[in-house]
Structure 1
Amino acid sequence: KGSFGTATLGYQYAPGYLIPYKYQIMQGAPFLAPRSTLAFGGGYTISPGSGARWDNAMRYAGSFGSLGMQAIYAFNATQSDDGSTDRADDDRWGLGATYDAGPVGVGVVYHNVGSGSDADDTKELLVGGSVDLGVVKLVGTWSKKDADGDTAADNTLVSAGLIAPVGAAGQVHLGAARLNPRGDDNNARAISLGYLHTVSKRTKLYAVLNRLSFDDGATYTGNPGALSTVGSAGESTNALIAGFSHSF
């Protein structure tokens, strides 16, 4: 650790775990945001609360004025060749950058996730932005995932939202997201209305109402994410979540 930044080893956070929350609603509990909900269904590792914590990893993070940089390389689970797959087939790496200039923030994240076989690696990209207008903060993201072959595992994911302060300690959050996999009649949509209340520097209370809807041809409804554990093609689910978050 030094002026150049911080280098760490072991079980590490990838950029896709730490950066996206800056450009989503429910920033004190980012797993409740519409984008996070649909990112589970879309198979993304670029999402807060996702599988973007990697074993056997080397990670770098540094800040240079308004610019933040992150990089990671993970050797993951397979550490020797077994005759059928190469030890590097399940390796994964990621890059991330953020830039904050006054009320404007932008960020980019890229993940390359090894398949663990001869299949092509999965490639994920996120571009996010935020603008703080004082009375309201606007946030948004665009993501793309390219997996092996031309299947519904390939998708794009967009989200947008606003955050409005309520008094000295509260915030109202409203956001929506849309997942568009390859193919027809298989999209998903999520919309959330939430409230965050800061109790102390480390503790926040939250309540969120979420609606999640699937097209008739959706095939990924079994893993919709943190807000809803059930879902059916052609149907919608509603969820009300309340609780608190505390950072140590």
Structure 2
Amino acid sequence: MKKSLIALAVLAASGAAMAQSSVTLFGVVDAAYAYGSGSVSNTSQLKSSGYSSSRLGFRGVEDLGGGLSASFWLEAGLNNDNGSGDTTSTNNQGASGVTGGGLTFNRRSTVSLNGGFGEVRLGRDYTPQFWNLTVFDPFGTVGVGTVGVGTTQTLNSSLGGPTTVRASNSIGYFLPGNLGGFYGQAQYYMGENLSNAANKKDGNGLALRAGYANGPINAAIAFSETKFLAGNIKAVNLGGSYDLGMAKIMAHYNQDKISGGNDGKGFLIGGLVPVGAGEVRLAYSTYKIDTVGADPRTNKLALGYVHNLSKRTALYATYARLSNKNGAAQALNGAVTGLNSNSNGYDFGISHSF
């Protein structure tokens, strides 16, 4: 009898603990037929992440009592067209620290302590300077790492370096969400080099973001400085959106400055227009690099439509056209184009989230 009572007590305690914590499996599988054309060569392929980045993730939270909670987030990028995983940078220093090919939690791998003070977050995470580029882009900067069809040119051409989107070895702080619409974050990230090495600060950075979102209005500004052996990079961007009901308009501006090197700057203006069960997306973006003797510039016009079959499944189509000037030669979907030539790209795909 006594053993039965002890067993029941253990089960009850276990049930109470489990009731205070939760773990969620989530993800996106997105595939598209993609075509790109250029003055040198064209491409035709099946690719992943045409509308929403393919991923597999696990997240969880535990209630610690007294208003405190602990949480984790592990999110891996997937290339579902061939089954491989995305690469990750271990030291924020570009190719020298890139690893992967199998399943790596490159998109985000963090553990957090949350409370009335806000959130302290440790691990690999998105950088503050990236958020304004993706939040205020009608295409959500899908196709990161390549010249994606819809992705804003302020990201595709950015001189921001390896930490433009994410940083490893980061310590972040987020303001609490009860400040009347005001939000903000700070992040410090490390290259983790030896103290007596010539590149001891390579990959170290500090970034800040502050914004205000209330009703139809959302606006934010961000600053960052990352130290690199080839030259420190300072980035500043700001963006905003306004929901008119019948459409949401958005815009952002981005500027990157490399100490002792080139500077780059550009902007985007675009919008989202609901149409029945779907949504029209359109954007114009441009980015110019200031160099000696020439200022290469790439302009992009993108138009897309998403048709929602359900809350989790959508069909989509996207068209974009790039025009290069002053020595630029970017192309879409893996095509190759000559200096000052144009490039066109198409995506037709399906995206399913779970």
State yes or no: 1:22 paired with 2:22: no
Amino acid at match of 1:79: N
Structure 1 portions without partners, runs of 5+: none
Describe the SS at the equivalent of 1:180: strand
Of 315, 332, 343 in structure 2, the residue corresponding to residue 205 of structure 1 is: 315
CA-CA distance at 1:144 after TM superposition: 0.8
State yes or no: 1:36 paired with 2:158: no
Of 144, 163, 171 in structure 2, the residue corresponding to residue 58 of structure 1 is: 171
CA-CA distance at 1:245 after TM superposition: 4.1
% same residue:
27
- Which residue pairs with 2:38 in the alignment? none
- Which residue pairs with 2:345 in the alignment? 239
**Count of matched residue positions in the alignment of Structure 1 and Structure 2:** 234
The separation in 2 between residues aligned to 1:30 and 1:204, in whole angstroms, is 17
| CA shift in 2, pair 1:16/1:150, >3 Å | closer
Describe the SS at the equivalent of 1:89: coil
The separation in 2 between residues aligned to 1:208 and 1:69, in whole angstroms, is 33
**Two-structure CA RMSD over aligned residues (Å):** 2.7
Structure 2 portions without partners, runs of 5+: 1-113
- Which residue pairs with 1:188 in the alignment? 298
Amino acid at match of 1:196: V
The 8 Å contact of residues 228 and 237 in structure 1, kept in 2 or not, is answered as: no
- Which residue pairs with 2:68 in the alignment? none
The separation in 2 between residues aligned to 1:30 and 1:199, in whole angstroms, is 23
The 8 Å contact of residues 24 and 140 in structure 1, kept in 2 or not, is answered as: yes
CA-CA distance at 1:150 after TM superposition: 4.4
| CA shift in 2, pair 1:185/1:156, >3 Å | closer
CA-CA distance at 1:120 after TM superposition: 3.7
Deviations along 1:102-137, one digit per CA (max 9) or x if unpaired, are 21211112221111x2x5410011110111111121
The separation in 2 between residues aligned to 1:243 and 1:146, in whole angstroms, is 37
CA-CA distance at 1:13 after TM superposition: 1.8
TM score, norm. by length of structure 2: 0.59
TM score, norm. by length of structure 1: 0.82
Describe the SS at the equivalent of 2:135: helix
CA-CA distance at 1:54 after TM superposition: 1.1
CA-CA distance at 1:80 after TM superposition: 0.9
The separation in 1 between residues aligned to 2:218 and 2:151, in whole angstroms, is 18
State yes or no: 1:215 paired with 2:215: no
Of 204, 209, 214 in structure 2, the residue corresponding to residue 101 of structure 1 is: 214
CA-CA distance at 1:35 after TM superposition: 5.6
State yes or no: 1:164 paired with 2:273: yes
The separation in 2 between residues aligned to 1:171 and 1:3, in whole angstroms, is 37
